[in-house]
Amino acid sequence: MIIVTGGAGFIGSNFIHRWLESQGESVLNIDCLTYAGNLENLTGIRTSVPGGPTYYFSRTDICDQAALDVLFAKYQPRAVVHFAAESHVDRSIIGPAEFIRTNVNGTFALLEAAKKYLRALASPEASKFRFLHVSTDEVFGSLGENDPAFSETSSYAPNSPYSASKAASDHLVRAYFHTYGLPTLTTNCSNNYGPYQFPEKLIPLVVSRALEGQSLPIYGDGRNIRDWLYVGDHCDAIIEVLEKGRVGETYNIGGLNERTNLEVVHQLCATLDELRPKQSGKYSDQIAFVKDRPGHDRRYAIDARKISEELGWKPVESFESGLRKTVGWYLENQGWVDHVRDGSYRDWINRNYSGDAA
């Protein structure tokens, strides 16, 4: 089986769905259920399938190494896929301490637990163990309009507390490979979008506000560029890296879809015009520009040639097809959106959670 940290979050929950459907191998999901951790993201997963994989959940803080030691010993994973992180730039500007705690201290505790566990493993299990750390392209800083895309050898230049905390965690993972021989893999991905994304992020935020007739806020001039990666494609890439990646290596994962924020919002509006038209006017009429946030990186772009050439992975979804799937999911799952926005998903967790569950 494998351990997934942060599996109740956006990318982690999508990964667990994908993993159980495609790999048929059991999963222990470790998540402490902070504001973005939502067990409703995993509704529909069968905890046990006769002759098939089993899904387990433990409400555990990854900063608690003693608790992690117990879980490693109990579940005996062959791999760890580490998603757990505070990830919203705006929140990191307002309150950076929690980002340092989770992203740096939490990764450190997890690495220590994995190192201790690996040392107790006998061959050949020890030789097969992997620790895959999921990171971001934001650790590389900002690109100019004509600069080449970030590669795996790009210099680190984080510009927000969030990206600085992720950069620190990347360096820790690298150090544990070189110093202790922990068999690590690191992935740096571009902007993800898709089902189950917390509605403070751009795409779900715009969908919700558009449907409510509110303004659609765009920072600055809207020309900040991101490379957009559909979450399903990202999950497939992680599986490829976990199974085929070279130990100690880093792989960039990009969607090959550079868009300005303004282009993204206009495309969202056009998709909503088609799937859920207004009684009058267009959704783009609601676009409003707001003051730019501090340290707002101008452009991110990913050079994904390494993962393509070494592992044969390429994204399946175009931006248009992925966005259509995403908007369709949010339109069909307004109950999920409402529970997140009014906080009742937290009540659901309190009602339904009762310790480790299989």
Cα-to-chain-centroid distance, residue 94: 21
Sign of the CA dihedral running 206, 208, 213, 215? negative
CATH 3.40.50.720 applies to domain 2-192+230-256+297-317+343-352: yes
Sign of the CA dihedral running 212, 213, 217, 221? positive
- Is pLDDT of 347 > 70? no
Q: Where are the domains of the chain?
A: 2-192+230-256+297-317+343-352
Q: What is the pLDDT of residue 297?
A: 86
- Is pLDDT of 355 > 60? no
Q: What is the pLDDT of residue 200?
A: 79
251 is known as an active-site residue: no
Cβ(191)–Cβ(229) below 8 Å: yes
- Is pLDDT of 348 > 90? no
Q: Which of 86, 138, 227, 240 is catalytic?
A: 138
Q: What pLDDT digit, counting tens, does each position of 210-227 carry?
A: 999 999 999 899 999 999
351 confidence band (pLDDT: 50, 70, 90) = low
CA distance 37 to 16: 14
138 is known as an active-site residue: yes
Q: What is the pLDDT of residue 13?
A: 97
Q: What's the whole-number average pLDDT of the chain?
A: 92
**Overall pTM surpassing 0.95 (yes/no):** no
- Is pLDDT of 356 > 50? no
Q: Would you say how long the chain is, in residues?
A: 358
Q: Of residues 350 and 175, which shows the higher confidence score?
A: 175
- Is pLDDT of 354 > 50? no
Q: Which of 40, 137, 233, 297 is catalytic?
A: 137
* Phi then psi dihedrals of residue 63, to 5 deg: -80, -10
Q: Which of 117, 162, 196, 330 is catalytic?
A: 162
- Is pLDDT of 352 > 70? no
137 is known as an active-site residue: yes
Interacting residues of 123 by C-beta distance below 8 A, sequence separation 6+: none
| Token couple for 279 | 């009684």
Q: What is the pLDDT of residue 123?
A: 86
Q: What is the pLDDT of residue 358?
A: 38
Closest CA to 358 of 70, 58, 47, 28: 47
Q: What is the pLDDT of residue 292?
A: 86
* Secondary structure E strands in 235-280: 250-253, 258-260
One DSSP character per residue, 184-200 reads EEEEEE-EEESTT--TT
Say how many C-beta atoms besides its own lie within 10 A of residue 322's C-beta: 23
Q: What pLDDT digit, counting tens, does each position of 279-318 carry?
A: 999 999 999 998 888 888 889 999 999 999 999 999 999 9
Q: What pLDDT digit, counting tens, does each position of 78-90 carry?
A: 999 999 999 888 8
